[in-house]
Amino acid sequence: MSSDNQVKPFERTATGLVREISAFRTLVLDLMFTSPVFMFVFAILGIGIFVGANMIVSTLLALLIGFTTAGMYAMLSIAYPRSGGDYIFVSRILSPPLGFMVNFVFTIVNISVIGVEAVWVSTMALGPMFAGLGAIMHSTSLTADAAIFGDPLYIFVIGTIVMLLFTSVLFFGTGPAFKVKSLLFLIAVISVLTYIVAIGTASQSMIISNFNSLSSTSFQDYSGIVAANGLPTGFQLVPTLYGTAFAVLALAGFTISSYAGGEVSNPKKSQFVGMFGAPTLYALLMMGVLAVSYAKFGYSFLSGVSYAALTGNSLYTLPVPLPWMNFLAAYALDSAPLMILLTIGLLCTLFAYMLTAIFASTRSLFAWTFDGMFPMKLAKVSERYHVPVYSLAAILLISVVFIYLTVYTTISAFFTYVVLASSFGLAIVAVSAIVFPFVKKDTFNSSPKPVSSKIGGVPLITLVGISALITSALIGYVAMLPAFIGVFSYEYVYFIIALFVIGIVIYFISYAVRVKQGFPIKKLQKEIPPE
């Protein structure tokens, strides 16, 4: 019989985690998971995918939509201030199997993206930087060096080393991890502000002249692609509305602090600061980037160059797969220092996402284990550093596997549909918020305001949950449109469904094993975990 067979429900009166994440740290956690410098990628993709969209308006609408999700997660995090995020909410309000299923899918998606971003260190940051520097500095050796970052072995080795290097700080406690994360946060924000100032203060004539001197396809040729293909030559309402769904994807991730709920000090304040502050800051920066880009590059050029890259138009000749805005800025200003600085900002965003995703995923595994789903050793917390060391090691190992799969297989293609998976999971969390005041009356009534607030006799959290449910349905619908994902593939949808099914299967297998061992899992999952 297992050594933990005789464990009583929550024999440990404390999780071992420490509440040392302040309001500022919560903001950093949520913003860096949102990945601020990625706005250079999302902005140009939105402009090219939804030609005619005013992405400034789309971003503003996405922010307003995001507030419903932020409000829902913030209030649920205050009602259940424990690590594990939506696993705790859904399992305690609806049912443990649903809670595990949703949180399992979200965690797998988060870890899979670590694999993608580890690859992007080479293919989106270092490779394009060397290619750009080669063109700007007229150096054939730098251009040749760029090809190295397209070699699968280099991609895997560099991505793995970077991931392990930056995430190893998590073993030494939350404090050191957030010092690193705060530094990455500062550099990333500075790089975005640098873009805004550099492009905003440059003359359009200089931008066009510099671009034409470096590119084999002229600024004017790119600007003519939109009209030549019969696409909107100005902003239109429908593309702007579709672009809103894309902007929602750009803003996603600002609820990640709920996964560290057991470590957030003063959750009533901190969760609201993080979950509302992160998308607001991100949206303001993105609208600033878009505003100066539209003003200096022009709608026709941005739409044309992005559309050409996305459709494989022969006119697209830039030495990068897609015309990231940070790359365009360095080309337009013929500036090697700007190319390096903006790439460093992008790298900091990639590093910070890995650090945050590992941190959050570890807390999910910890919550499942503390609830009795897995052997209690995985919930062991270092007495010195107050981190779940075995859970952390397990998540790091899984992350390396995903980096390998991303480099050497086509598994990343299946995650084209992660927006659909996220929308479905968000819908279940929304249902939890809607019914929370009615199925958990004591917890609702004892929760502080605004969680227990009512409007016209209707609980505020129920109204917010309804709004989030509608939002999740709309985003899921738009995410399946051909403009968003290309040709619809049932194979990918089946893969997403399989993730949810796998989550349920793992839950019931684990549940059956633990019950057979005599572990009181059923009783344990009815209670709120200790702090």
Nearest to 33 by CA among 337, 289, 363: 363
Tokens of 275: 């979950």
In whole angstroms, give the CA distance from residue 34 to residue 255: 9
For residue 488, what pLDDT is reported? 63
Query: With the C-alpha atoms ordered 5, 11, 16, 22, is the resulting torsion angle positive or negative?
Result: positive
Q: Which residue has the higher pLDDT, 169 or 12?
A: 169
Overall average pLDDT of the 360-374 stretch: 84
47-71 pLDDT tens trace: 998 999 999 999 999 999 899 999 9
297-316 pLDDT tens trace: 999 999 999 999 999 999 99
3-class DSSP string for 287-328? HHHHHHHHHHCCHHHHHHHHHHHHHCCCCCCCCCCCCCHHHH
For residue 277, what pLDDT is reported? 94
For residue 483, what pLDDT is reported? 58
Overall average pLDDT of the 132-156 stretch: 91
Tokens of 55: 């992405």
For residue 133, what pLDDT is reported? 92
Give the number of other CB atoms < 10 A from CB of residue 3: 9
Q: Quick one: pLDDT band at residue 17, thresholds 50, 70, 90?
A: low
Whether the pLDDT of residue 1 is over 50: the answer is no
Overall average pLDDT of the 151-170 stretch: 91
Q: Quick one: pLDDT band at residue 4, thresholds 50, 70, 90?
A: very low
396-431 pLDDT tens trace: 999 999 899 989 987 776 666 677 788 888 999 999
436-464 pLDDT tens trace: 999 999 999 999 899 999 999 999 999 99
255-273 pLDDT tens trace: 888 888 778 888 888 999 9
Burial class (CB in 10 A: 0-12, 13-18, 19+), 165: exposed
Task: For helices 325-333 and 39-49, give the axis angle rounded to 10 degrees.
Answer: 100
Domains of the chain, with CATH numbers?
A: 23-415+480-524 (1.20.1740)
Whether the pLDDT of residue 9 is over 50: the answer is no
SS3 content of the chain, % helix, strand, coil (to 5): 75, 0, 25
Overall average pLDDT of the 176-192 stretch: 92
Burial class (CB in 10 A: 0-12, 13-18, 19+), 508: exposed
Where would I find the H helices in 126-218?
Answer: 127-136, 140-146, 152-167, 174-200, 204-214
Overall average pLDDT of the 23-42 stretch: 88
Per mean pLDDT, which range of 2-11, 79-88, 130-139 is the poorest? 2-11
